[in-house]
Amino acid sequence: AAINHTHKFRATRTTAQTLTDKAFTRIQFNVESYDPGADYDNVTNFNYTVPVTGYYLITSTVQLLLGGGAGAYNVDPILSIYVGGVETVRAQRYPTYVDFATGGLNHGIISSGLVGLVITAILSLTATNTVDIRAYADNSAGNAASAEASLNDFSMHLLSV
């Protein structure tokens, strides 16, 4: 049987958003693709207010542009799901690259460029919980990272009550 309810939404960004260095920054997904229940705030708080208690599928993709120049990133970028202002689920990019001299895999922290982060979770949420997505970047020289204007989205769908 088909699931027929309004407890879902999807939003994207239309412009780049600068992240605060060394702090979790709420990503401002400002354009709704769909939001039949009008539960996502795409103007002020950039969060979804859970309309009914249940299990929700939460997904987000954010493409970050890491600032170049002096300094390196001390911690690889992080994408997190926040529920009620508290970090609940974390996804972090752990870079792996091939060392062609040895043929082995190396793990290292990147210094600049585009990084795509994806996070997915199924969470048990209570009506009136608020959910948002935040990103974190830490540059030793304070070079800004930004959430780019393309290849990003935030969506939630009620799976069951």
Q: List, for residues 79-98, the tens digit of each pLDDT value.
A: 999 999 999 999 876 555 44
- Per the CB < 8 A criterion, the answer to whether 16 and 144 are in contact is no
Q: Could you give the percent of the chain with pLDDT greater than 90?
A: 52
pLDDT at 2: 58
What lies within 8 Å, CB to CB, of 28 at 6+ separation is 13, 17, 46
Q: How much is the pLDDT for 86?
A: 98
pTM of the predicted protein model: 0.85
pLDDT of residue 18: 87
pLDDT tens digit string along 4-49?
A: 689 999 999 989 898 888 889 999 999 999 999 999 999 999 999 9
